[in-house]
Amino acid sequence: MKPNLICISMTLLAMAFAAEAAGADLTQPIVSSDLVFEEQDGVVAVEAEHFYQQTLTHKRAWYITSAKAAPDLTPDADPPHVAGASGGAYVEILPDTRATDKDKLIAGENFSSEPGRMAVLHYKVHFHNPGRYYLWVRAYSTGAEDNGVHVGLDGQWPESSQRWQTVQKRSWAWDSKQRTEQVHTGEPFKLFLDVEKAGEHEIMFSLREDGFEMDKFLLARNKEFKPDGTGPAPKVKSGRLPPAFAEVKEAADTQK
């Protein structure tokens, strides 16, 4: 193929991706409502983009970002972070109007100390083994104003699963810490959900800070369990996972 034809083809391909992104509603589920994840041997793994429902999106919403399509929404203080994302995609709460502590904090708009009030993602999980599950989230944070989220179970938001927070910056990283009055940077082993009965349950994530980016989450019975890399693969009880997005290799971030 001649060089000018290659350039034309690449341009047309880029235009096609842009058109697809513009025409897609990246806040909508890409899985059906019959998808149920499965706990096996005390571990549950779920890709963040595989929510079956999203609610309370009147002021903020979670948007799916992948190499195939990214939200064209402003303000958004940072570029996409598809590189290194498990399954080639992640979700982010947008718009992001509070990127730094110099930006105005508006409760009920770009921040919520109360869980379950704004931008709620819903996931179904079948548990074989009831008990206490410690919560791990793989997130990408660029500052102190996009590093927190709330977690719920079956329509409830226990104190033990509020205010997940990380201080790790500028890379996809696992963390399991809760922000407390005593330790604002987060305390380990305080972030958990108590699953009282075996069977199907609903896990929920809601806005604490806009701009929050989530790639994957895990629930583990073992208090000493610590995921690495992209973590274990999700297990499915019923329904079907969609094809994975193309993964992009993560490069070292020189801004750390």
Instruction: Kindly tell me if the per-residue pLDDT of 201 is higher than 50.
Output: yes
> Does the pLDDT at position 1 exceed 60?
no
* pLDDT the model gives residue 17: 44
Residue 81, pLDDT > 80, answer yes
Per-residue model confidence (pLDDT) at position 34: 98
pLDDT digits (tens, 9 = 90+) for 46-62: 999 999 999 999 999 99
Across the range 202-210, mean pLDDT stands at 98
State the pTM of this model: 0.89
Backbone phi, then psi, for 16, in 5-degree steps? -65, -45
* Burial of 7 (C-beta count, 10 Å sphere; 0-12/13-18/19+): exposed
Half-sphere exposure of 215 (CA within 13 A, CB side): 27
- Check whether 39 has a pLDDT greater than 90: yes
d(CA 155, CA 47): 20
Chain segment 25-38, per-residue pLDDT in tens? 999 999 999 999 99
The C-alpha atoms of residue 50 and residue 225 are separated, in whole angstroms, by: 23
- Average pLDDT estimate for 71-79: 94
The pLDDT assigned to 254 comes to 44
What's the pLDDT score for residue 233?
97
| Predicted pLDDT at 252 | 58
Q: Which domains does the chain have, with CATH numbers?
A: 26-238 (2.60.120.1620)
Q: What is the mean pLDDT of the chain?
A: 91
d(CA 114, CA 86): 29
Which tens digit of pLDDT belongs to each residue from 118-143? 999 999 999 999 999 999 999 999 98
pLDDT in tens, 232-251: 999 999 999 999 999 999 87
Q: What angle do CA 151, 209, 188 make, to 5 degrees?
A: 50
Q: Higher pLDDT residue, 203 or 19?
A: 203
Confidence of residue 23 (pLDDT cuts 50, 70, 90): low
pLDDT value at 183 more than 80: yes
> Given pLDDT bands bounded at 50, 70 and 90, which one contains residue 8?
very low
Token pair for 88? 């080639």
